[in-house]
Chains A and B, each alone.
Chain A
């Protein structure tokens, strides 16, 4: 089955710094790569996604880049704010109509 690795598991940054989270996957047929943010006590929420026909997508302070050849994609958060503190999950689709989630990254943004 699909294997999704996510790094780092924890990331601490100062407010205003950038944060980068990386995921690698194994199934070359995967073509949909979303990122979810989970705040404390809440369910995960989609923040950005990318499909295999593009290499980069931006939405204000967040961006996702995809390298299909190397089978990895990354989440970039610029000008981090304390409210960005959460657990972030990457996910990858498989041929069986499901998403496989990465192991999560706990991001802590200190004021």
Chain B
């Protein structure tokens, strides 16, 4: 009964490849997010979707493309992977308009991406 689940948990891939991370939430939330956590543990929002509509795009390179087929899913596609993309990517969700409105953000367990 995992609330926010993302796959894969670990991903090792070569530079230049294209990869996807999938995320699903079973909490009935309206808003989903992708966060990136680098090696220094800095946690930064990348994208936010509310009812399948993009509401936050934090100047992420356009090699990163989120896709939300429905409000329970938010997948992250990354093209032409670079060494600097190595990080932990967290999917998250919250009720209502977003984390800024005071609704709790629920995070998945993270996807460890290593680009070699």
Contact = CB atoms under 8 A, between A and B. Distances in A.
A99 interface: yes
Contacts, number: 68
B97 interface: yes
B55 interface: yes
Contacts of B54: none
Interface string A1-35: 00000000000000000000000000000011010
B101 A32 contact: yes
Given A97-B97, A98-B99, A44 B43 contact: yes
A93 B98 CA distance: 10
Chain B, interface size category, equals: 20 to 34
A99 B45 contact: yes
Nearest to B108: A43
Contacts of A43: 4, 90, 92, 107-110
Contacts of A94: 100
Interface of B: 4, 40-45, 48, 55-56, 90, 92, 97-102, 104-110
27 contacts: A32-B100, A34-B105, A41-B110, A42-B109, A43-B4, A43-B90, A43-B92, A43-B107, A43-B110, A44-B43, A46-B104, A46-B105, A46-B106, A89-B43, A91-B99, A93-B99, A93-B100, A96-B100, A97-B97, A97-B99, A99-B45, A99-B100, A101-B44, A103-B41, A103-B42, A104-B42, A106-B41
